[in-house]
Amino acid sequence: MKEPTADYRGFTFFINLEFPSHRIDMKAICYISNFARDLNKHQISELIETVNCNNIRENITGILIIRNKQFFQILEGENRVINQMYKKIRSDKRHSTIIKLLDITIDGRIFSDYNSGKFEVFQKYANLKKLYLYFNWIKEAEYLPADGIIKLTTNFLKQSK
């Protein structure tokens, strides 16, 4: 069978018409929590390292913002994986008063184009400029789940200045 191609102004593009045999259910969860009372800087550093390793291994994208003794996190990925990760977070003693702000099914990752699809942790307000630029760019797509996530994030940042 000949591979399908498209010709555009002298350039030939091969078109990949392979579709997955099954659809992967994706979801995004957003939550806010307070630091556990005795959480120190060393434990926060360990937490960040663990978050980055786990998210790479589990193919989870999103952001974690650490401000004013609070965690604000958006996780996105395969439904089953996100549910398991959130269950682990809920039992993690480094958190207290966890409130789930959003739990939605998504058609595609909102953060796949942000930071090369890598999970990002923010601890300094000055480092958020890139995130705001990304949010402005993604607003152009008018993807409703992204709008909700953008509003939650910007509201958290306004309250934690």
pLDDT 10s digits, 132-142: 777 776 666 66
Structure confidence at residue 16 (pLDDT): 39
In angstroms, the Cα distances linking 121 to 47, 109, 127, 129 are: 10, 17, 10, 13
Instruction: Give the separation between CA 50 and CA 55, rounded to whole angstroms.
Output: 8
> What domains does the chain contain, in order, with CATH numbers?
24-159 (3.30.70.100)
**Dist CA 62 CA 131 (whole Å):** 11
β partners of residue 122: 65
Q: Of residues 87 and 146, which shows the higher confidence score?
A: 87
Region 116-142: mean pLDDT is: 69
pLDDT band with cut points at 50, 70 and 90 for residue 22: low
Spatial separation of the C-alpha atoms in residues 22 and 108, rounded to whole Å: 15
Instruction: Report the distance separating Cα 16 and Cα 19, nearest Å.
Output: 9
Amino acid at 126: A
Per residue in 35-46, pLDDT tens?
888 888 898 888
Res 127 pLDDT > 50? yes
